[in-house]
Amino acid sequence: MLFQLASRPTAPFPDPALAETEPNGLLAVGGDLSPQRLRSAYRLGIFPWYGAGQPILWWSPDPRLVLFPDRLRISRSLRKTLRRGAFTVSLDRDFGAVIRACAAPRADAGGTWIVPAMARAYERLHVLGLAHSAESWQGDELAGGLYGVAMGRVFFGESMFSRASDASKVALAYLARCLSAWGYALIDCQVYTPHLASLGAVEMPRAEFQRRLAEAIDQPVAGHAWDDRFRGPASTGALFD
């Protein structure tokens, strides 16, 4: 059964366990993308995902793809790239540029799900200190990156992009290292992709994800998490020696 959300931002979401099995995880339709609504959604492991011309669709797939920050799988070739210092890395140096790059049409996909309303919503979350980006750079050129939402000890990954080989992987490696040091328990990757699985992401039943989320969502992280010292750019050669 697909649930229709009431228009007020405080309207509750249905239980994620009631999500459709086909399409996998579709739970509700409607509502808005206000910060209050998005906070409520992420606390329950629900996220918006829809395309141009569609109403807002809310999802909670089963199984859920997650990455434990300290279990990122760094291949031999990626480790060489990191040690060589081919890129510099930063956090929150240019959130707007990252989300615009993620929203740009890609050759292997028909259009984008990061419609302008979505981009504006996450930029509002960034101003509020809830949404963050990780970037990789070649000189002054943004080469790759990702963005997502951080609440409690969970980072909810939303999208990533790459303009150079390994650029998004380098940004993810830096982010995972920071998250692990700050005490984060999970990176939510939402749904399975071979690319994320190759980096160590694993599927778990939705019920298990919900249990881990409930344990971590109100837990504090290190007090220096996300502060200005990580805006960089910093050399990966020094960080991954």
User: Residue 86 has which token pair?
Assistant: 């081919």
109 falls in which pLDDT band (50, 70, 90)? low
Q: What percent of the chain has pLDDT over 90?
A: 87
* Per-residue pLDDT at 111 exceeds 70: no
Average pLDDT of the chain to the nearest whole number: 94
For residues 92 and 230, the answer to whether their CB atoms sit within 8 Å is: yes
How confident is residue 107, by pLDDT bands cut at 50, 70 and 90? low
**Res. 28: pLDDT tops 60:** yes
For residues 92-100, give the mean pLDDT.
97
Rounded to whole angstroms, the Cα distance separating 52 from 187 reads: 27
State the pLDDT at residue 59.
98
Structure letter (DSSP) for residue 74: -
Sorting pLDDT into bands at 50, 70 and 90, what band is 10? confident
Q: What is the reported pTM?
A: 0.96
pLDDT, residue 22, reads 96
pLDDT computed for residue 120 by the predictor: 97
Which residues contact residue 134 at a Cβ distance below 8 angstroms, ignoring those fewer than 6 apart?
89, 90, 91, 98, 145, 146, 147, 171, 172, 174, 175
Give the pLDDT score at 230: 86
Q: What's the whole-number mean pLDDT along residues 93-100?
A: 98
In the chain the domains, ranked by start, together with CATH numbers, are 3-61 (3.30.70.3550), 65-239 (3.40.630.70)
- Nearest Cα neighbor of 130 from 221, 16, 5 is 221
pLDDT at 1: 76
pLDDT digit string, tens, across residues 143-180: 999 999 999 999 999 999 999 999 999 999 999 999 99
Lowest mean pLDDT among 109-123, 186-200, 214-228: 109-123
**Token pair for residue 215?**
């344990």
Closest alpha carbon to 148 in 223, 98, 183, 97:
98
CA 128 to chain centre: 16
DSSP state of 17: G
Over residues 53-86, the pLDDT tens digits come to: 999 999 999 999 999 999 999 999 999 999 999 9
Can you tell me the distance from the alpha carbon of 59 to that of 48, in angstroms, rounded to the nearest whole number? Answer: 6
